[in-house]
Amino acid sequence: MRLLVGPLLLAWVAGATATVPVVPWHVPCPPGCACQIRPWYTPRSSYREATTVDCNDLFLTVVPPALPAGTQTLLLQSNSIVRVDQSELGYLANLTELDLSQNSFSDPRDCDLRALPQLLSLHLEENRLTRLEDHSFAGLASLQELYLNHNQLYRIAPRAFAGLSNLLRLHLNSNLLRAVDNRWFEMLPSLEILMIGGNKVDAILDMNFRPLANLRSLVLAGMSLREISDYALEGLQSLESLSF
């Protein structure tokens, strides 16, 4: 029965969201973008209404200037942005979700987001990321969701996630990783959901996930696993769901 909980919950959330009207947000809006008040669910699944600027699919190469200062959700999906400077978003003190998926970033440090203390969700999936160096997400202490799936990541430095002590959800699935390093997870004491399937990992070794005492869901599906050590899941005392 547990396997049905996720899909049922997602269906209920989608249905509930569909009944909530989208309201115009009457502020000066960048050309081509939509400024609205939309329903939004926090990483803890609490319902809120968020002031949203939707600039998806506009062939942008830079972040639009003069975004409304009260923006809480900024959608820049499916553009051609390669860099975000601190000055471009630093004045959005209330920004909680930033979607930069399907752009052209090759290094997460090309997104200088240190001036966004309220940021909870960051989407960088489907970019051109190949490596994560130490402290790749410096200054994002409040971050709770990080989406790095469907990139070309082949190397993650031991302290790449340093400073993300509040992270709850991490998506590393569908990359080019060949091994799992437990040092990544020493930086993530609050992590509850880890999706790391669809990589080129062929073995899960002893203590690979030991630092993740609060992990509830682990997805390893899509790997070519040939070996799972006897103590591979040691330390996962809160685990509720495991998918191969």
| Structural domains of the chain sorted by starting position, each given as residue range(s) with its CATH number in brackets | 27-128 (3.80.10.10), 132-137+153-243 (3.80.10.10)
Q: Which two tokens stand for residue 138?
A: 């410096």
pTM for this one? 0.91
C-alpha span between 31 and 113 (Å, rounded): 23
Q: Which two tokens stand for residue 154?
A: 């082949």
Least confident of 23-27, 41-45, 117-121, 213-217: 41-45
Residues present in the chain in total: 244
Indicate the burial class of 3 (C-beta count within 10 angstroms; 0-12, 13-18, 19 or more).
exposed
Residue 26 pLDDT > 90: yes
